[in-house]
Structure 1
Amino acid sequence: MIGIDRDTGATVDDWPQFVQRATRALTTPLGTRQKRPLYGSTLPTLLSRNLGDSVLMLAQVGAVEAFVNEANGIADFEPDTVLAERYGNGLKLRLSGVWHNRKMTFEVTT
């Protein structure tokens, strides 16, 4: 799949394009898109809470749920490790797993 980088406008494909799609799905609040109400994840709703250990655990669960949600279109990545940690005023997710039979890792900051 070929896409456009949201920051530079350059053409992206393969892994960088997937990372951009996954980041968009993980940082979009669930139910905010009018024509695609099932698109997104529960992660943005956690950001208004104090980032205790229980919220970090909920963030990990929300990230895995986003990959299982078919409406997000990111099911071609199978996460095997999801690690949430405090980062600045938000949190950072480190995800690793299998994408097209390759072991891949990426980070998402919120």
Structure 2
Amino acid sequence: MRGTDRKTGKAIEGLEYLRQRIDDVLTTPIGTLLLRPEYGSGLFELVDDPVDERFRVEVTSAVANALNEHIEDFRLEGVRLAEMTPTGPVFDLVGVYLPDGRRVTLERV
């Protein structure tokens, strides 16, 4: 797949474009896009929750649900909460990039 880098306006493709699309779906709250109200992730519903084991399960589930629903060219196999930052959680994702069947790790998404 090909697209445009939202920061530079230049053409991007492959894993770079996949990473951008994953970032977009995870940083969009469900219900905020008028024409696609189902698009996004449930991460924002967890923003004020304490970071404990339940939180880790909930964010992992929110990431998996969003990617499985909205990213068709990536088969998610694993999610790891890598870090909590002031702007939110950061994840390492493992899965298969379906256009070429390659197993990939996307760090710090």
Confirm or deny a common fold (TM above 0.5): yes
**Given that residues 82 and 108 in structure 2 are in contact (C-alpha distance below 8 angstroms), is that contact kept between their aligned partners in structure 1?**
no
Tell me the equivalent position of 1:84.
81
The 2-side partners of 1:68 and 1:80 are apart by: 10
The normalised TM-score by structure 1 is 0.86
Aligned identity (percent) is 31
Q: Is the 8 A contact 1:95 1:105 kept in 2?
A: yes
Corresponding residue to 1:97 among 86, 95, 107 = 95
- Secondary structure of the 1:31 match is coil
TM-score (norm 2): 0.86
Aligned Cα RMSD in Å? 1.5
Q: Deviations over 1:71-108 (max 9, x none)?
A: x2x12211111111432222111101111200111135
2:59 is the counterpart of 1:59: yes
| Unaligned runs of at least 5 residues, structure 1 | none
Q: Who is 2:46 aligned against?
A: 46
Partners of 2:73 and 2:97 within 8 A in 1: yes
For 2:59 and 2:19, how far apart are their aligned partners in 1? 18
Q: How many residues align?
A: 106
